[in-house]
Structure 1
Amino acid sequence: MNSPVTTIKDPQEKKTVGFKFDVQSYTLIIAVVVIAMIFGFFTSGEFLSSRNLSNLFTQMAVISVLAVGMTLVIVAGHIDLSVGSIVGLTGGIAAILQVWQGWNTVTVVLAAIIVGAVIGLWQGWWVAYRNVPAFIVTLGGMLVFRGILIGISKGQTVAPLSTSFGQIGNSFIPYAVGYILAVIAVVFLFIAKIRSRAKRQTLGLTLAPTFIDYGKITVYSVCIIIVTYMLNRYLGIPVPMLIVVVLAGIFLFVSHKTSFGRFTYAIGGNVEAAALSGINIKRNVLFVFILMGALAGIAGVLLTSRLNAATTSAGTSYELDAIAACVIGGTSLMGGKGKIVGAIIGALIMTSIDNGMSMMNIEAFWQYIVKGLILIFAVWLDVSNQKK
C-alpha cells in the first residue's frame, strides 16, 4: 500500500509580499485630507493658509498633550474624567504663584507639573489600591479640583502673567532652526526604518518590499518638509507644537520600548493573564495615572500661557475632547489597543472641525453636534472591529 505523500514546506522559504493598501490603517490620514479639502473649498483656501495652520497647531496642543496621557489610561482599561479640571487647577496654581506670589516662570511650571503628578498619584491610589472604579474616582475628582480652583482663585481671573511665561504658548521657532529640526526628523525616520528592517532580518521575520517601506518614509518626510515650509511662511513652528512632538516621541518610546509600556498594553488586553504573568498590576496602574496627571499639568501651563490668564472655567470639557481624540485615533475603550500618533491625529481632526466651522461662521451648537456624531461613529467602528 502506498503511503500518502506529505509535503513539508521549507521554513526558510520566503513569502512574496505584494503591495497592499490597508484602508483601515490610513483612515485617519484620509479623514484629515478630506476635512482639509472641504474646509479649504468653503473658506476659499483660507483654512490652508500658513497663518491658519499655525493657529490650528497651536490650538490643538493642549488636547494633544492630554490625548497622549489618555491613550495610556484607556489602553490600561481605565478612564480619566478629571483631566479638564486638572488642567484648570494646575494652570490656575501657576498663575496664582506668579501673579500673586511673584514666583519665576521655571518654578511655577515645575510646580504645576508636580501638582498634576500628585493629583494623579492620589487618584491612582484609589483606583489601584482601593479598587474604586476609575470612572467614579475621576468623576469625583472633576468636581473636587474644579471646586479647589474656584476656592483658591476666589472666583477671579488671574492675569496678566510675565512675558517669559507667555512665550511658552505663543512663541515660534526661528525659520532656520525649524528647517534643521525637519531635516533631523527626516534622517531619524530613515535611520529608524533601516535599523528596524535589519532587526527583522536578523530575527528571520518577513520583510515588506523595500519600495513600500521606504516609500512610506519618503511620504512622511515630504509631509514634514511641506508643513515646516508652510509654517515658516508665517512666523515659524509654534513652540506648543514642538512640545507635543517631543512628548509624543518620549511616550512612543515608553509605550513600545519599555517594560512599563508593554505591561500597560498587557493589563488592558487581559488583566488576569497579566497578573498570572507576574506583572505588578497595581503599581503599573498607579504610574499610568501619575503620568496622566503630570501631562495634565503641562497642558494647564500651555493653556494658561496661550490665554495669558487663568480662569475658573479653564479646561472645561477638555476631558471629553481628549477621550474623543483617542477613540477617533483608534484607541479601544475595551483596553489593550491604542496608538499615541493616532490620538494626536484624532486631536488634529477635532480641532480642525472646530476651526473650520468657526471660519465658516457656523453656529457653535453645530460643532458640538458634529463632534458628538463623529465620536459615536468612531466607537461604533471600534465595537464592530472587536466583534470581527
Structure 2
Amino acid sequence: MTEAAPAPSKAGESGRSLSDQLREIEFDPRMIGMVAALAAIWLGFNWLSDGAFLSSRNLWNLLVQTSSIAVMACGMVLVIVTRNIDLSVGSMLGFVGMVVGLIQVRLLPELWGFEHPLTWLVSLLAAIALGSAIGLFQGALIAWLAIPSFIVTLGGLLVWRGAAWWVTQGQTIAPMDSRFRPLGGGVEGAIGTTASWVIGLAICALICVAMVFARRRRVRFRFSLRPLWAEIVMAVLACGVVIATVMIANSYALPVGIARRVTEAKGLPWPPGGLFIGHGLAVPVLIALAVGVAITFLTTRLRFGRYVFAIGGNPEAAQLSGVNTRKVVMLVYGLMGALVGISACIATARLDAATNSAGALDELYVIAAAVIGGTSLAGGVGTIAGAMLGALVMQSLQSGMVLIGVDTPLQNIVVGFVLVVAVWLDGLYRKRLG
C-alpha cells in the first residue's frame, strides 16, 4: 500500500504572510492601504475642522467635486496601462467647456431660442464628439507618427489652453441652460430621497447578482474560487458603502426657502415647524458611477480591454500576436477625450458658466488619482475602481485643506508630494512582487 501524502501542517499555513492570505482571497493590499489612508484623511480633517468635514453637507459636496476627476481618471487608467501619458486633459476640459458654453449661449439660441428642450442634449453630444476628435488626433500622432506621448500631450496642454482663451477672447460665458445645469449637481442636480433609495437598492442587487454570476463562471471554467465567506464579506462591504452613501446624501437637507417652494409647488401646506427634505444622490455622482461600471466592463469583459492590457504588458508580443497596437492606442486616446468631454459638461454645469481657467491643474489630479489607485506607470497594471477611489483621496485632500484654510500654494505642494510618494510606493510594491 502506498502511504498517503501528509496533510499540510497548520504551522505552514500560519507561516504565510498577511499579504499572501489577502492575495488568496483576491484582496489587493494596496486597495486596503488606500481605504485606510482615506479613513485617516477624513478623521484627521474632521478633527482639525471641529467636525465640519464629516458633515453630510461637506461629504455630499465632496462626492460632487470628485465626479469630474473620477470620470477622467477612468480613461487615464487605460492610457497609463498602455505605457503612455496624457498631460492635456485639464486644458482639453477648459477648451471643450468653452465650446459648450458658446453652443448654449450664442449658437443654439440663434437657431431655436433659449431654453429649448434639446439644448442640453446637443451640448453634451457636442462635448463628447469634440473631446473624442481631439483625443483621436493626439492618439494618431502618438501611434502612427511615433511621437512620444509626453511631448504630444505636453504640446496639447499648451495648445488647448490657448484655444480655450481664443474661442471667446478670455470672456466668461454664462448662464447655462436650465436643463443642462443638473449635470453639475446642486439643488437642481439632486434626484431626491425616494429615487436615491430605489437606485441604491438596485445597485446592491446588481452587486450580489454580478458576484453570483462571476462565481458560476469560475466554476464553469474550473478557475480557483475565493472562500464563500470572502465573497459574502465583499458583498456586504460593497452594499454597505452604497447604503451609507445614500444615507449621507439623503441626510443633507434642502435649504428652507427651496424646500418651502418645492412643497408649495406640489400643493402641500408648509408646516409651522418647517419640513426636512433631503437632497438625495447627485446627478454627477451617478454619471461617474455609470462611467466607472462601463469602463470596468470594457476592460474586463471585452476584447478591446484585453488588448489594452496586453499592450501594456508587452507591446512587442501583443503586436506579434496580431493585435493592431497603433489602432488600440489611438482608440484609447479617443476614449480619454470622450470622457474629458463628459467631465467638461459636469464642470461647466456645476459652475453654471464656461471659464477660461476651468480644468487648470486637473491633469495633475487625474494622473495622481490613477497612480494612487494602483495604476503602474510602467504599464500593464491598473483598475478602474482603484482610480475612482484615488480620485476621492485626492479630492478629500484638497477639500480638507480648503476647509481648514490652507493656502493654494501649500495645497499644490501637498498634492505634488503625495503623487511622488504614490509612485515611490508603487515601485516598492512591484519590486516586492518581482
Relative to the length of structure 1, the TM-score reads 0.94
Partner Cα separation in structure 2 for residue 107 and residue 197 of structure 1: 42
Letter matched to residue 106 of structure 1: L
Match of 1:379 in 2: 423
Residues in 1 aligned to 2:414 and 2:169: alpha-carbon distance in whole angstroms: 36
Q: 1-side partners of 2:344 and 2:365: how far apart?
A: 15
Query: Match of 1:249, SS?
Result: helix
Alignment partners' CA distance in 1, 2:5 and 2:306: 36
- Correspondence for 1:28 among 6, 9, 34: 34
CA distance in 2, matches of 1:25, 1:105: 37
Measured after TM superposition, the shift of residue 386 of structure 1 is 2.5
Partner SS for 1:160: coil
Deviation larger for 193-202 or 106-115: 193-202
Q: Does 1:250 align with 2:256?
A: no
Percent identity over the alignment is 39
2:128 aligned partner, one-letter code: I
Say what the alpha-carbon RMSD is for the aligned residues.
2.0
Provide the residue aligned with 2:389 in structure 1. 345
Contact 2:30 2:374 in 1 (8 A): no
**Cα 1:6–1:255 shift into 2, 3 Å:** farther
The one-letter code matched in structure 2 to 1:360 is I
Q: Deviations over 1:335-374 (max 9, x none)?
A: 1000101111111011001111111112222211221111
Counterpart position of 1:127: 142
SS in structure 2 of the partner of residue 264 of structure 1: helix
CA distance in 2, matches of 1:347, 1:371: 12
Following superposition, the deviation at residue 205 of structure 1 comes to: 2.5
Letter in 1 for 2:130: V
Q: Alpha-carbon deviations, 1:41-94, whole Å to 9, x = none? A: 222221111111110011111111110111110011110111111100111000
SS, match of residue 155 in structure 1: coil
Helix, strand or coil at the partner of 1:31 = helix
Alignment of 1:204-223 (within 5 A): 204-223=222-241
Of 413, 417, 426, which aligns to 1:369?
413
Residue among 331, 334, 338 paired with 2:378? 334
User: Following TM superposition, by how much is the alpha carbon of 1:7 offset from its aligned partner in structure 2, in angstroms?
Assistant: 8.5
Tell me which residue corresponds to 2:255.
none
Aligned residue in 1 for 2:272 = none
The amino acid of 1:350's aligned partner reads: M
Where 1:102 maps in the other structure, the secondary structure is helix
Q: Which residue of 1 aligns with 2:364?
A: 320
Q: Give the whole-Å Cα distance in 1 for the aligned partners of 2:3 and 2:220.
A: 30
Shift of 1:6: 11
1:231 corresponds to which of 226, 232, 249: 249
Provide the rounded CA distance (Å) in 2 between the counterparts of 1:89 and 1:363. Answer: 27
Q: What whole-Å deviation, never above 9, does each CA across 1:178-218 have from its counterpart, x for those lacking one?
A: 11111111111111111122222222233222111111111
Q: Does residue 261 of the first structure (1) align with residue 305 of the second (2)?
A: yes
**Deviation for aligned residue 1:334:** 0.6
CA distance in 1, matches of 2:368, 2:124: 27
The answer as to 2:317 corresponding to 1:273 is: yes
Report the equivalent of 2:101: 95
Q: CA deviation at 1:306?
A: 0.5
| 2:398/2:411 contact within 8 Å kept | yes
Among candidates 166, 175, 178, match of residue 181 of structure 2? 166
For these two proteins, the number of residue pairs brought into alignment is: 379
In the alignment, which of 50, 58, 66 is matched to residue 44 of structure 1? Answer: 50
Give the gaps of 5 or more residues in structure 1.
10-15
Structure 1 range deviating more: 138-147 or 249-258: 138-147
Q: Which residue of 1 aligns with 2:206?
A: 188
CA displacement, residues 271-297 of structure 1 (integer Å, 9 cap, x when unaligned):
011111111101101110000011111
Q: Secondary structure at the match of 1:294?
A: helix
The residue number in structure 1 matching 2:275 is none
Alignment of 1:300 onto 2:365: no
For 2:380 and 2:223, how far apart are their aligned partners in 1? 24
Cα displacement (A) at 1:25 = 3.6
* Counterpart check, 1:112 vs 2:156: no
Segment of structure 1 superposing worse, 188-197 or 22-31: 22-31
Q: Secondary structure at the match of 2:180?
A: helix
1:48-59 equivalences in 2 (<5 Å): 48-59=54-65
> What letter matches 1:273 in structure 2?
A
Matched residues in 2 for 1:59 and 1:24: separation?
Answer: 24
SS of residue matched to 2:107: coil
CA distance in 1 between counterparts of 2:86 and 2:140 reads: 13
- What is the Cα deviation at residue 387 of structure 1? 2.4
Letter of the 1:101 partner, please give it. L
- Structure-2 separation of matches of 1:165 and 1:203: 46
TM-superposed CA distance for 1:269, in Å, is 0.9
AA paired with 2:297? Answer: F
TM-score normalized by the length of structure 2: 0.84
One-letter amino acid of the counterpart of residue 348, structure 1: L
In structure 2, how many angstroms separate the alpha carbons of the residues matched to 1:369 and 1:145?
Answer: 25
The SS at the match of 1:101 is: helix
Determine if contact 2:31/2:386 at 8 Å carries over to the other structure: no
Deviation, 1:8, is: 8.6
The separation in 2 between residues aligned to 1:87 and 1:195, in whole angstroms, is 38
One-letter amino acid of the counterpart of residue 239, structure 2: S
Cross-structure match for 1:67: 73
Separation (CA, whole Å) in 1 of partners of 2:138 and 2:383: 24
In 1, Cα distance between equivalents of 2:395 and 2:383:
19
Where does the alignment leave 5 or more consecutive residues of structure 2 unmatched?
7-12, 110-118, 253-278
